[in-house]
Amino acid sequence: MAELLVGPLLRWVSETEATIWVETDAPCAVEIHGHTERTFHVEGHHYALVIIRGLEPGRRYEYGVRLDGQLRWPEPGSGFPPSIIRTLDAGRTARIVFGSCRVSVPHVSPFSLDRLIDSHGRGLDALAAFARRLIDEPGGAWPHVLLLLGDQVYADDVPQATLDFICSRRDAGQPPGESVADFQEYAHLYCASWTEPLMRWLLSSVSTSMIFDDHDVVDDWNISEAWLRDMRATDWWEDRIVAAFMSYWIYQHLGNLSPAELDHDPLLAAVRSADDAGPLLRRFSFYADRESAGHRWAYRRDVGGTRLIVLDSRAARVLRDGQREMLDETEWQWLEENVEGEMDHLVLASSLPMLMAQGMHHAETWSERVGDGAWGRLPARAMEKVRRALDMEHWAAFGNSLERLMKLLAEVGGGRRGAAPASIVMVSGDVHHGYLARIAYRRSSGVRSAVYQSVTSPFRNPLGRGERMFQRISASRGMAAVTRLLAASAGVSQPIVRWRRLEGLAFENQVSTLEMSGRNAILRLEKAVATDGPEGAGLEALWERRLAPAPKEAETMATDTNGAPADHGRPDGNDRLASPIAASHAR
């Protein structure tokens, strides 16, 4: 008799359709809300993605999961509320909760301690605290989308249960050591990470979209061509990367697709019809790694009047010295097509920030030029070591791509791709600290949209003391001045946009909510704090900002004495809605 191993995960939800994903321990028929799907088989594991059609807009549907007719969800004696599908209504409201970087460790001491107190501490889980709020406030404002921006699992920092599994089947003293080696270990990692009771309930009741970042595969994944050569020279990398793509396609990617896309997906059709889809998915995954255009992982969702576009800023990279691109040409064409049309707001998601603190931004532009030989061959070799040591791999380290993106957003914000949206918000994770920046174009650009970069990271995996100090230094005016000169010496031009940090830096475990209604948009960032509740964690606002309509005082960004955009302070005005940020986050 089949049992439920992982899930249910509520994934795509529209006004009339939904998809729900499960993993079971045996082949079976999975029935949810009167819709049935047979499991497909991959190397001893069994999965189903059930498409539910014929729902009504703006409704709330409780559901259960039956395997071969036997009720397997909710679990007997569960103390959690029923799992639900909340369909979208015909209104213009969209509420997106987002963040990234969540390690799966116990919610007890020392793991629940602040990392500044205990090196094993990972603090309180902001995503778990958010789930508890939904349980405690069932009539509250639930999100339409939970957007997970990378590092949903840590293949190179696995939970204890997965480490025990690894050690039971191979010598962890040999590469790749205590990190994931193959598909079986990835499957165990996902199971260990997604079956904590509170997280399991959250993922069963809130429509969730995802995209990978480096730790879903390995730290600094695809940072450079030299890095990729080094990895492919090892005897373990091919098994790791193939397993990473196989498992990502199953556990994360399938649920990002709409029912219409799933209906016409030839790979899914082949997988469903295979006795064992393992060989098929291995071939697909090998090609997905070897060719940047091997598969499109980016996707789009329209929620109310908001368009959400999620980019692949890892696998789509072009890594040829002298031609480094964050996105390949196929991905660029897809992006350009999908920013066309009418929308109240555009939310553009990338696991990696597009715009960082000035000091780090200029350092990364400098690293790219020197790495490409602007200062000669010996400095280029040395820069490769610096690049890896300091994780210089964000959009600024792919200068052509960043400039192309900023020009594309100028077209959107200037109404040349359709009526200009009220706001364009770039949302990202990765860097383990949160901030909000306002972006300004030249007046001649005609940009009418308010444009922002919002970063929320981590859900649960804070920086240590030294790393926080490094980030503060990177955000200082002095560091910006130094790295700007270095970049100029390597032939880097001034950026075509200016940006100013409005909020941050915030180093606590955190979660953000972006709420858009008509032409209005508000962003709120909250940190996890200790409470007397069941999980011992709640949420407390660090800041809340009105993004649109944009405050007039913020439309022109200040510049420092060198003519470069300021990255300190915040403009006056009434756009800040929450209580003042804690003194530890003051700029």
Domains and CATH numbers, the chain: 139-524+546-585 (3.60.21)
Q: Is pLDDT above 70 for 572? A: no
Residue 577: the pLDDT is: 59
Decide if pLDDT at 569 tops 70: no
**Could you tell me which residue, 586 or 264, shows the higher pLDDT?**
264
Has residue 553 got a pLDDT over 80?
Answer: no
Write the Ramachandran bin of 298: left for phi over 0, alpha for psi from -120 to 50, otherwise beta: beta
pLDDT-derived band at 134 (thresholds 50, 70, 90) equals very high
Burial of 21 (0-12, 13-18, 19+ CB in 10 A): buried
pLDDT (0 to 100) of residue 512: 99
Q: Which residues contact 46 (CB under 8 A, 6 or more apart)?
A: 2, 23, 24, 25, 26, 27, 28, 39, 40
Strands 306-310 vs 345-349: parallel, antiparallel or unpaired: parallel
pLDDT class for 91, splitting at 50, 70, 90? confident
CB 16 within 8 A of CB 57: yes
pLDDT above 70 (res 162): yes
Q: What is the pLDDT of residue 477?
A: 96
Q: d(Cα 26, Cα 37) in Å, to the nearest integer?
A: 14
Report the mean per-residue pLDDT for the chain. Answer: 93
Kindly tell me if the per-residue pLDDT of 579 is higher than 60.
no
